[in-house]
A and B are shown apart, each in its own frame.
Chain A
Amino acid sequence: AQSVTQPDIHITVSEGASLELRCNYSYGATPYLFWYVQSPGQGLQLLLKYFSGDTLVQGIKGFEAEFKRSQSSFNLRKPSVHWSDAAEYFCAVGAINFGNEKLTFGTGTRLTIIP
């Protein structure tokens, strides 16, 4: 069965600093990978996804993620964070089992931005 690990429960960074959120997955086949963000009072918003092709994926709000098959990782990065990036971030792997499609999420990483 597939699984996702987000080792950092909470990260604090200064505004303007760079950011990297870690995500490791376990899945037997080629994974479909996603990053979602949940801002306070909001639903889950898709930041970016990887299905195939270029392993560096660009998303919305200036985020990018790199798929590394050898490390089973899909880390999320942003070169310079803004106060509005404070939110909870979820990595997910999409799996197809007997024609059924569903997402398996990590436990999330809460990001705090300090001035």
Chain B
Amino acid sequence: EAGVTQFPSHSVIEKGQTVTLRCDPISGHDNLYWYRRVMGKEIKFLLHFVKESKQDESGMPNNRFLAERTGGTYSTLKVQPAELEDSGVYFCASSQVGFEAFFGQGTRLTVV
């Protein structure tokens, strides 16, 4: 069974540019989460999808971040325009039931 897959693994962009991160969850998992770790700090919750609906987006930092989940399958997280403080590792996770989530490898985003 394939795990949670994230693309790209690394991205380096200039301040002001746009970046789109993609997450392919485990097939059949209705729950999809995005988390972020800024260097040296804790991993923080960004948002939670149940199928294609946003269940909780209380952790999204500001309106420069837009998450979508097409047809309840893969999800994208777009940052537009990117700022220096957006640098970090973005993790995606999926689960069939609640907390027991499987995480992807993460996308390391560097904004210069």
- By a beta-carbon cutoff of 8 Å, the part of chain A in contact with chain B is 4, 32, 34, 36, 41-46, 49, 90, 92, 94, 96, 99-108
How far is it, in angstroms, between the C-alpha of A44 and the C-alpha of B105 when the chains are bound? 7
Query: A101 contacts which of B4, B43, B99, B105 (Cβ < 8 Å)?
Result: B99
Within 8 Å CB of B99, what residues of A?
32, 34, 49, 94, 101, 103
Known: A102-B33, A103-B45, A107-B41. A43 touches B4 (CB 8 A): yes
Known: A100-B56, A102-B48, A108-B42. A94 touches B103 (CB 8 A): no
Known: A34-B99, A94-B98, A100-B55. A105 touches B42 (CB 8 A): yes
Q: Say whether A101 contacts B40, CB under 8 Å.
A: no
Within 8 Å CB of A4, what residues of B?
42
Q: Say whether A46 contacts B48, CB under 8 Å.
A: no
How far is it, in angstroms, between the C-alpha of A94 and the C-alpha of B41 when the chains are bound? 18
How far is it, in angstroms, between the C-alpha of A4 and the C-alpha of B4 when the chains are bound? 25
Within 8 Å CB of A44, what residues of B?
43, 91, 93, 103, 106
Query: A103 contacts which of B40, B55, B58, B101 (Cβ < 8 Å)?
Result: B101
How far is it, in angstroms, between the C-alpha of A44 and the C-alpha of B104 when the chains are bound? 7
Q: Say whether B56 contacts A102, CB under 8 Å.
A: yes
Q: Give min CB distance, B68 to chain A, whole Å.
A: 19
Known: A94-B98, A100-B56. A43 touches B45 (CB 8 A): no
Within 8 Å CB of B101, what residues of A?
46, 103
How far is it, in angstroms, between the C-alpha of A108 and the C-alpha of B41 when the chains are bound? 8
Additional A-B contacts beyond A99-B55, A107-B40 (6; CB < 8 A):
A43-B4, A44-B91, A45-B103, A100-B58, A101-B31, A101-B98
Flag whether B64 is at the interface (Cβ < 8 A).
no
Interface residues of B in 1-41 (CB under 8 A from A): 3-4, 31, 33, 35, 40-41
